[in-house]
Structure 1
Amino acid sequence: MSDAGKRESVNGADDAARTKANRGPGAGPGNRRALIAAAREIFAESGLNAPFSAVAKRAGVGQGSLYRHFPDKVALAMAVFDENFDALEASVASPETTLDALIDDIIDLAAVSTALIDLIWQHQHEERIAHLTTRLAAIVGTVAARERAAGRLGEEVADADVLLAITMLTDLLSRADAAERRPLAERAWAIFRRSFAP
């Protein structure tokens, strides 16, 4: 390749790098969504030992963008769970959603988020984590009230009891091998369900 061709090739690569690095403020929301999606995949595949930089690489964004949105792994885990809770809130808004359906959704989400559950658990007493507990309690409260009114949940079963069952289920999932998570969670929930019946 001639010197001119080499310069053109290098300059073209530099231009591409500058374009990627400087897509402007409008790229922020898209980058954030890409980082959250990448975090789900990376931590499901490799656990918490996965390097933080792997998330940026998978998302196709620079390290600077990663740290602007999420200064540490806990902030990223919180964003994943906020997105999970958005989906759960949308689901329980439907009057047809039962406690069994909610638990089924939680099992699905928890089964692929075990590393992030562990991370949140390690930081559970931090103030920034508190809103996750509040959101989950509201989701459970909505469905539990509906189940009591329909006669499917004993009046003596408090929302806190259901939350405890969910905590125990997710902890169980985080300790199980991937192939065992779904059947194990279903067995555990069947035990809780029998004890919660009116």
Structure 2
Amino acid sequence: MCVTSSGRVNSGSLNRGPRDAARNRAALISAAREVFATQGFAAPLSLIARTAGVGQGSLYRHFPTRESLALAVFDENIVELQDLAADPDSTLDDLFRLLVDQITTSIVFVEVIKPVSFGDSRLNSAGARLTDLLEGRLDEARRTGKIRESVTAEDVILAIAMFAAIMERTAESSRKEVAHSAWNLLVQGLAGPAAAG
């Protein structure tokens, strides 16, 4: 916070300094999640810096590219999914519900799981983490007929990417309603005959 010579508080960019680097980084990730969700993935990075209350220099020190910022936001999503997957009582349905919620509220998730995403190997690697996470739950789902035996983790990722593309083009005010309908249709397509009937 900056105080002017007249004693007024300047509420502009708050550069918290190097000792607060971790707090700056967290603020930037939170701001990116919010701005990308409302303005789209092409939103100005300067807006993210302003929303976080830091200068653009601080943004670029932490995240030199838009893609590196996207990866940081995506990583938080993956950690949340990993925590859920680590719970022995969680199911594939639980993971799907969390994924749908993340995609509905996070445009970055949409960008990272696109089948072709920037040609950036780091983003491809991030998508692979999600594939590995899902694979751990698919065996049980196949055995119980929740998912057809032929369905692979890559198939599920493709279905999620299709769902994400719908969300990307849906107005924020309608996303939850559209998400419910679109995801139900995709799950029916993945389900075994008994589950679909």
TM-score class, shorter-chain normalisation, is 0.7 to 0.9
Does 2:92 correspond to 1:99?
yes
1:146: how far off? 3.1
2:140 paired residue number: 146
Counterpart check, 1:45 vs 2:11: no
Matches within 5 A, 1:1-198: 10=5, 21=15, 23-24=17-18, 26-114=19-107, 117-118=110-111, 121=114, 123-195=117-189, 196-197=191-192
Cα distance between partner residues in 2 of 1:119 and 1:60: 26
Q: CA RMSD in A?
A: 2.8
What are the Cα deviations for residues 11-64 of structure 1, in whole angstroms up to 9, with x where unaligned? 989xx9xxx64633x322211111000111122222244321121121122222
Contact kept, 8 Å, 1:88 with 1:102, in 2: the verdict is: yes
Q: C-alpha distance in 1, partners of 2:187/2:109?
A: 26
Quote the offset at 1:100 in angstroms.
1.9
Q: TM-score, normalised by structure 1?
A: 0.80
Amino acid at match of 2:5: V
Q: Which has the higher contact order (CA 8 A, sep 6+)?
A: 1
Alignment: residue pair count:
186
State the identity as a percent.
36
Instruction: Tell me the amino acid that sits aligned with residue 41 of structure 1.
Output: E
Identify unmatched segments of 5+ residues in structure 1: 1-7
Which secondary structure does the structure 2 equivalent of 1:10 belong to?
A: coil
2:73 maps to a residue whose letter is V
Structure 2 CA distance, aligned partners of 1:154 and 1:22?
Answer: 52
Structure 2 residues without counterparts, runs of 5 or longer:
none
TM-score of the pair, normalised by structure 2: 0.80
Preserved CA contact (<8 Å) 2:24 2:58: yes
CA shift for structure 1 position 151? 4.3
